[in-house]
Every structure is written in structure tokens, then in C-alpha cells.
């Protein structure tokens, strides 16, 4: 539709790293963007990311590291479940993304010489993580927020903050032509036209009740796409971060950078005559009084090569198991993460942000006391299914191909945590910020090309009836919800959903327990029909918005459980005690959930993973035979990589 570009617009839903990067790139391509966000974009969940962002760099390169190595680590870390071409492209672009952020003014930590400083992170033996204190997500997001504000001042971006996405608008051909959204102040429900829509709405931690996520990370937006016909893939792969601070309202993240900077994980213990560890006689005593020989550094003992920086799924299971064996701090569900032996000045300079969080929320100084931590739900590797156009040799993606990161609904894209790419069965630390920005910058160009080459009439020419009808559906759904005057409390339903999901579908799963959870979720779905909404106001009605999202959380919860039920193997974050081995023959496949509107449940199929360059190998991180010739075990630490 040459000449129509003046009228063409793209909607981006979500103002975190992925959404902001997309808005920057798409406007740079000449297409104006309408940016929708529940919160002012500067308050998006990306601010919570702490540790850093991975990329090959000059020092690591001279030690033998490369973009290919970054790619390989990511595939191995994800237990070979990630499609390889997009990961390859991401690793290639990573150094240029760091340069760009640097130019945008991100205050990356510096060495004495003024170079960008680097730290060690999980799943790598090379320092390849760039960081800005321990608030890297906040700093990167602010840099992109500033660029979007600049585009807004120039009239290229229109922000709809305090607006919630309700549904995609699909035409009779099934292509996406806009969205329906709700103003969270006036509660107005309104349809918006768009020539393409980018979902960048993050993860679904709140489905698990307590998590490290912000309160808006309900997964409702992804669920609404899923219920409208978008495939949801690898839902059962939920990252449980090994080190979170337990709390009444949320689990606060204690960054992997704490371990990257030398933090040691241990529990009080006693070695018996045979050298085997057992519980300490006084597991609750002042940790500062426990001598070194009574400290069981279980990650260092079990993984001599990687030690405390094994990938997250492994650290989480080891911490969980050591507590199950009765060796947790005070006999309970906690272990120590110790930085207290490091100089205070260095901790404040490199980790000040997280030291402060621990001091403020726990009331103890981590420069003096080891921190008490336990795993918490953190990241969804799974999400909306997306396609891509690989290069013919599978090394990377065709730049600008309109299909890159488009869902099965034409014109509807998914960027960042909300899609299922890059991280496979387990995400490596400091790869999330990278994948979000990569999606926005690299695949933003695909959106521009799709809009420019669009064979359809522009959205401005679509008949108004399509939008009026979509508004009507959402208006009727809301009326129905408000008319329910049942005895069920929607907050209790969400709390029960969270407890059930956490118990059945996080660190250790079994088929039997997952089946019970599926039944429980069916019961919650039934009770949800009998809720009462405690506020009928049509002005800033948070209770109504929350009630809506609980229905969507139930739908996603069901998809997560059913995928986990059918995946009878253990891979990355998905550990089935009744099927403890990885089974490539049956399950080197993506799990695809499709919503069945009749039963309101997921039907699951499997689809082959695009392997490409790296053949699946055993993933041990040197636990069994550090010198067995396995790639990871055979590696020795490069000089200068660990101080």
C-alpha cells in the first residue's frame, strides 16, 4: 500500500524493555507508534532486573570467548529446547546492543581505565556480563524510556498509559487489525486500529501467587491472546530463581550477581567419619560463629568447575533438596548466601542496589551477616508462540523478514518475555535484558516491513463494524462480570491458584500431583463463575480489573499444568521426579497449547525444535565427571576471569 504510510500505525502493548525498544525501532523506521501500558512505562517490571546483560567483549574474546560461544552457552543452558537460529542472531548482535546502550548514556560500571567493567554470571566461565551497579534493568529501561520520551516529544509516539489491553481485534481472515483496551481511570472500553500489533507484556509470575515479579505481571494480556487463538508454547518452563528473599507480599530477588561477584551458598552442617555431610546440631545458631569446617558449600562441592555459578535450575534444585534433606538454616526452608567476607566498599560499589534491598526489607546488613534466601518463581521461558525466517544455513535470521517473531495470527507479534524464544528450558542469567532489547531492535524492523509490504488494505480502511463488534464483546463480558453476585472471593481464588501452582508445578513435579492441580484449577474455574465484585464504580475500579485478570490467570495456569503433565521427561527447569531423565527422542519438541473455547482448557501438541548447529549433548555442568571430556567439564577457568 504505497503512499498509505501516513495513515499507518503500529500498536505496542507493554512499556518495558521489549516494548520501548520496539517503539524506538519502529518509529525510526518511519511508522508512528501507539504505546499502551497499565502503568506509566517508566514503572514497568524491567526495572527489577538487577545483575546485567550478556555480550561477547574484547577481553573475553582474547581469552577464547566469542559470539558463537555465547550462543552455545545459551543453547546448553536452555537444555537444547530453544530454536537455534534466533539465539544465534541474538548472540551476534549482543555486542552492538551494548554499544548502543552505552551511547544512550547508560551508566555502565567502569574499570580504573574507564572501560566498561564486566562480571561473572551463571552458566559461563567467562566474564561477559555488563552491568550498572545492581540495578542494570532500571538503568537500561530508563535509557530507552528517555528515547521514547524524545520520540513522544517529536510526535512519533503516542502513549496510552493507565490503559489495559483486553483483546486483539481480528478480521474475517484472522489477521490482527487492532486491539480493544480499557482506560483504567474512566473505565472506558475502546477499540484502536493498527496495521500491526506488538505484544510486549512480560511474564506471568502472579499465576504462582508469590514471585519475584511486579504486581502487574499476571500474564493476563498473553492469556487474552491465547484465548483469542494465539498458540502458547512451552508454558511449563517456569524459571524458579535460586536466591530470593521470602516476604509477606512478594519474594524479592537477590540477584545472581551476588554469586557472580563471589557470593558463596552454604548451610550449617557436620561431616561424618566417611566425609558425608549431615545436619548441624545447632542449625539456627549465629552464622558468624560457625567455623568454616562446619559450613557445607554444597554447590562448590558438587560442581567443582562452576561452583556457585551453575545455572539457575540446577542451583534451585540443589537448594531445594538440601532443605528437604533437613539441612536448611534452622532446619527450615532457607540457605545462606554469603558476601559478608568481602570488603564493604566493593559490595556497595558493585552490588549497592541489592545490598540496600536486603537491609531495607530484612533489617540485617549483608556486609556483616550472610543473607537468608530461598528459591522463588521468577521468569517464564514459555509464552506466545512465534515464527521466524532463518537464513538458509540456519545461522541467524533473515534481517527484516516480516515473519520474525510474528505469532500464528498475522500482524500480531510477541517480543520479550511474553514470547517463547531464546531461553529454551532454562534462561541463563543476564540473557533476559538482552533478548528483550534484541526483539525490539532486530525484529522491530520486521514489523516495519510487514506494515509497509502489507497486502491488506490499511487498518484505516477497515470497516468500523469490526471494531464496534469487538468493543461490544468486551463490554458484554464486563457487564456479565459485574452482574455476578456470588459468594466467592476473587482474591481467595487467586491465592488458591497461586498456592496450587507453586506446590504442583515449580521445582519438583510428578504426573500424579499435576493431575490433582489440573482438577483444582477446574474447580477454581467453576468457582470463578460465582464471584462477586466488591466495587461497581465506573471510576478507577481496580477490583474489577483484578477480577478480570484472575479469569485469564486460570486459563494460563491450566495450559502450564497440561503441558507439564504430558512432558514426561526432565529438562532444564522442568523436573519430573517420575521421569528424571531428558528424553530427546520424545521431547526435543516445543509444547504447543491451543485454547479450546468449549472446554475452556488447553489442548496440547508437540512440534520439533529447530536444532541447526549445536547437537544436543548431556547437560551436567561437570557434576558427574568433571574431566570426562564433556565440553563444560573439560574447560578450565580462563586467566583473570574470576576476580
- For another protein, the binding residues in 167-196 under the rule CB under 8 A are 185
Question: What distance, in Å, lies between the first and last C-alpha atoms of the chain?
Answer: 57
Asked whether position 216 contacts another protein by CB under 8 A, the answer is yes
Closest to another protein by CB, 191 vs 490, is 490
Asked whether position 588 contacts another protein by CB under 8 A, the answer is no
Choosing from 76, 88, 121, 142, the residue that interacts with another protein (CB under 8 A) is 142
Q: Are 31 and 451 within 8 A, CB to CB?
A: yes
Rounded Cα gap, residues 116 and 101, in angstroms: 12
Q: Which of 211-219, 370-378, 425-433, 580-588 is the region at the interface with another protein (rule: CB under 8 A)? A: 211-219
Asked whether position 132 contacts another protein by CB under 8 A, the answer is yes
Asked whether position 346 contacts another protein by CB under 8 A, the answer is no
Question: Which three cell numbers, joined as nine digits, stand for 304?
Answer: 567443582
3-state secondary structure of 57: coil
Closest to another protein by CB, 100 vs 457, is 100
Which among 213, 426, 229, 151 has a CA at the least distance from the CA of 316? 426
Closest to another protein by CB, 45 vs 167, is 45
Choosing from 105, 304, 469, 640, the residue that interacts with another protein (CB under 8 A) is 105
3-state secondary structure of 358: helix
Choosing from 83, 130, 241, 250, the residue that interacts with another protein (CB under 8 A) is 250
Choosing from 6, 537, 603, 628, the residue that interacts with another protein (CB under 8 A) is 537
Rounded Cα gap, residues 338 and 247, in angstroms: 19
Q: Are 369 and 339 within 8 A, CB to CB?
A: no
Asked whether position 476 contacts another protein by CB under 8 A, the answer is no
Which among 108, 407, 73, 453 has a CA at the least distance from the CA of 229? 407
Torsion of CA 433, 438, 439, 445, to 10 degrees: 150
DSSP state of 574: B
Asked whether position 115 contacts another protein by CB under 8 A, the answer is yes
Residues 319, 320, 321, 324, CA torsion sign: positive
Which among 314, 380, 316 has a CA at the least distance from the CA of 632? 314
3-state secondary structure of 160: strand
Choosing from 543, 566, 611, 613, the residue that interacts with another protein (CB under 8 A) is 543
Choosing from 30, 110, 480, 617, the residue that interacts with another protein (CB under 8 A) is 110
What's the closest the beta carbon of residue 89 comes to another protein, in angstroms?
Answer: 14
Closest to another protein by CB, 219 vs 564, is 219
Rounded Cα gap, residues 230 and 74, in angstroms: 26
Choosing from 54, 147, 419, 570, the residue that interacts with another protein (CB under 8 A) is 147
Rounded Cα gap, residues 21 and 177, in angstroms: 22
Which among 8, 39, 15 has a CA at the least distance from the CA of 215? 39
Q: Which of 82-90, 374-382, 467-475, 541-549 is the region at the interface with another protein (rule: CB under 8 A)? A: 541-549
29-58: contacts with another protein (CB under 8 A): 39-40, 42-45, 47-48
Question: Which three cell numbers, joined as nine digits, stand for 246?
Answer: 521470602
Q: Which of 205-213, 255-263, 364-372, 478-486 is the region at the interface with another protein (rule: CB under 8 A)? A: 205-213
Q: What angle do CA 101, 194, 411 make, to 5 degrees?
A: 80
Closest to another protein by CB, 50 vs 124, is 50
Choosing from 246, 279, 332, 403, the residue that interacts with another protein (CB under 8 A) is 246
Choosing from 488, 510, 540, 620, the residue that interacts with another protein (CB under 8 A) is 540
What's the closest the beta carbon of residue 326 comes to another protein, in angstroms?
Answer: 20
Site string for another protein, 363-382 (x = CB under 8 A): x-------------------
Asked whether position 149 contacts another protein by CB under 8 A, the answer is yes
What's the closest the beta carbon of residue 106 comes to another protein, in angstroms?
Answer: 8
407-466: contacts with another protein (CB under 8 A): 441
Count, residues near another protein per rule CB under 8 A: 76
Closest to another protein by CB, 472 vs 537, is 537
Rounded Cα gap, residues 195 and 456, in angstroms: 9
Choosing from 300, 325, 535, 610, the residue that interacts with another protein (CB under 8 A) is 535
Asked whether position 152 contacts another protein by CB under 8 A, the answer is yes
Asked whether position 353 contacts another protein by CB under 8 A, the answer is yes
Asked whether position 92 contacts another protein by CB under 8 A, the answer is no
- On the CB side of 22, CA atoms within 13 Å amount to 33
Choosing from 463, 476, 480, 492, the residue that interacts with another protein (CB under 8 A) is 492
State the catalytic residues: 312
Question: Which three cell numbers, joined as nine digits, stand for 583?
Answer: 528424553
What's the closest the beta carbon of residue 73 comes to another protein, in angstroms?
Answer: 23
558-577: contacts with another protein (CB under 8 A): none
Which residues partner with 531 through β-bridges? 488
What's the closest the beta carbon of residue 259 comes to another protein, in angstroms?
Answer: 19
* DSSP string for 527-587: HHTTBB-S---SSS-HHHHHHHHHHHHHHHHHHHHHHHHH--S-BTTB-BTTB-S--HHHH
Burial zone of 149 (CB within 10 Å; 0-12 exposed, 13-18 middle, 19+ buried)? middle
Q: Are 439 and 415 within 8 A, CB to CB?
A: yes
* DSSP string for 472-503: HHHHHHHHHHHH-B-SB-HHHHHHHHHHHHHH
Q: Which of 203-211, 235-243, 289-297, 326-334 is the region at the interface with another protein (rule: CB under 8 A)? A: 203-211
Question: Which three cell numbers, joined as nine digits, stand for 551?
Answer: 479469569
What's the closest the beta carbon of residue 265 comes to another protein, in angstroms?
Answer: 21
Asked whether position 107 contacts another protein by CB under 8 A, the answer is yes
Q: Which of 100-108, 263-271, 462-470, 573-581 is the region at the interface with another protein (rule: CB under 8 A)? A: 100-108
270-329: contacts with another protein (CB under 8 A): none
Rounded Cα gap, residues 200 and 19, in angstroms: 5
Strand order in the sheet with 53-54: 53-54, 129-130, 118-119
Closest to another protein by CB, 140 vs 470, is 140
Phi then psi dihedrals of residue 236, to 5 deg:
-70, -10
Amino acid at each position: 500500500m504505497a503512499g498509505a504510510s501516513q495513515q499507518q500505525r503500529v500498536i505496542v502493548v507493554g512499556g518495558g524493555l521489549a516494548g520501548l525498544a520496539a517503539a524506538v525501532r519502529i518509529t525510526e523506521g518511519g511508522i508512528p507508534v501507539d504505546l499502551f501500558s497499565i502503568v506509566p512505562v517508566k514503572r514497568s517490571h524491567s526495572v527489577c532486573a538487577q545483575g546485567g546483560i550478556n555480550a561477547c567483549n574484547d577481553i573475553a574474546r582474547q581469552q577464547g570467548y566469542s559470539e558463537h560461544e555465547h550462543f552455545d552457552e545459551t543453547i546448553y543452558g536452555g537444555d537444547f529446547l530453544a530454536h537455534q537460529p534466533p539465539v544465534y542472531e541474538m548472540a551476534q548482535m549482543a555486542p552492538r546492543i551494548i554499544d548502543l546502550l552505552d551511547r544512550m548514556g547508560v551508566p555502565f560500571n567502569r574499570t580504573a581505565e574507564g572501560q566498561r567493567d564486566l562480571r561473572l554470571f551463571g552458566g559461563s566461565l567467562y566474564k561477559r556480563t555488563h552491568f550498572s551497579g545492581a540495578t542494570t534493568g532500571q538503568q537500561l529501561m530508563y535509557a530507552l524510556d528517555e528515547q521514547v520520551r524524545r520520540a513522544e516529544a517529536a510526535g512519533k509516539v503516542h502513549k496510552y498509559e493507565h490503559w489495559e489491553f483486553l483483546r486483539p481485534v481480528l478480521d474475517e481472515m484472522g489477521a490482527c487489525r487492532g486491539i480493544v483496551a480499557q482506560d483504567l481511570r474512566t473505565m472506558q472500553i475502546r477499540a484502536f486500529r493498527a496495521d500491526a500489533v506488538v505484544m510486549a507484556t512480560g511474564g506471568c509470575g502472579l499465576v504462582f501467587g508469590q514471585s519475584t515479579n511486579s504486581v502487574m505481571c499476571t500474564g493476563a494480556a498473553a492469556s487474552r491472546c491465547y484465548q483469542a487463538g494465539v498458540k502458547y508454547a512451552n508454558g511449563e518452563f517456569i524459571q524458579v530463581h535460586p536466591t530470593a528473599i521470602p516476604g509477606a507480599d512478594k519474594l524479592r530477588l537477590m540477584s545472581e550477581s551476588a554469586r557472580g561477584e563471589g557470593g558463596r551458598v552454604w548451610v550449617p552442617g557436620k561431616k561424618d567419619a566417611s566425609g558425608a555431610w549431615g545436619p548441624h546440631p545447632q542449625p539456627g545458631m549465629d552464622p558468624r560463629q560457625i567455623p568454616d569446617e562446619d559450613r557445607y558449600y554444597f554447590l562448590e562441592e558438587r560442581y567443582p568447575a562452576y561452583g556457585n555459578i551453575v545455572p539457575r535450575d540446577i542451583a534451585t534444585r540443589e537448594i531445594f533438596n538440601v532443605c528437604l534433606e533437613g539441612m536448611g538454616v534452622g532446619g527450615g526452608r532457607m540457605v545462606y548466601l554469603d558476601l559478608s567476607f568481602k570488603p564493604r566498599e566493593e559490595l556497595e560499589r558493585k552490588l549497592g542496589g541489592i545490598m540496600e534491598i536486603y537491609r531495607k526489607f530484612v533489617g540485617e546488613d549483608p556486609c556483616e551477616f550472610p543473607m537468608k534466601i530461598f528459591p522463588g518463581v521468577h521468569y517464564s521461558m514459555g509464552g506466545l508462540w512465534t515464527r521466524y525466517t532463518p537464513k538458509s544455513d540456519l545461522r541467524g535470521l533473515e534481517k527484516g523478514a516480516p515473519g520474525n517473531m510474528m505469532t500464528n495470527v498475522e500482524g500480531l507479534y510477541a517480543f520479550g518475555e511474553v514470547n517463547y524464544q531464546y531461553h529454551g528450558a532454562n534462561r541463563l542469567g543476564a540473557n533476559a535484558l538482552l533478548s528483550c532489547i534484541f526483539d525490539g531492535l532486530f525484529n522491530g524492523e520486521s514489523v516495519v516491513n510487514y506494515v509497509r509490504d502489507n497486502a491488506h488494505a490499511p487498518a484505516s480502511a477497515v470497516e468500523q463494524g469490526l471494531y464496534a463488534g469487538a468493543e461490544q464483546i468486551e463490554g458484554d463480558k464486563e457487564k456479565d462480570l459485574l452482574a455476578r453476585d456470588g459468594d466467592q472471593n476473587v482474591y481467595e481464588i487467586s491465592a488458591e491458584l497461586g498456592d496450587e501452582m507453586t506446590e504442583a508445578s515449580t521445582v519438583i513435579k510428578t504426573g500424579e500431583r499435576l493431575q490433582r492441580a489440573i482438577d483444582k484449577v477446574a474447580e477454581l474455574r467453576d468457582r470463578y463463575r460465582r464471584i462477586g465484585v466488591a466495587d461497581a464504580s465506573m471510576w478507577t475500579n481496580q477490583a474489577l480489573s483484578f477480577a478480570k485478570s484472575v479469569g485469564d490467570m486460570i486459563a494460563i495456569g491450566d495450559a502450564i499444568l497440561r503441558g507439564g503433565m504430558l512432558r514426561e521427561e526432565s529438562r532444564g527447569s522442568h523436573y519430573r521426579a517420575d521421569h528424571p531423565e531428558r528424553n530427546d527422542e520424545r521431547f526435543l519438541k516445543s509444547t504447543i497449547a491451543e485454547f479450546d473455547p468449549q472446554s475452556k482448557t488447553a489442548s496440547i501438541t508437540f512440534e520439533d525444535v529447530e536444532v541447526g548447529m549445536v547437537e544436543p549433548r548431556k547437560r551436567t555442568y561437570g557434576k558427574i565427571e568433571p574431566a570426562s571430556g564433556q565440553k563444560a567439564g573439560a574447560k578450565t577457568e580462563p586467566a583473570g576471569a574470576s576476580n
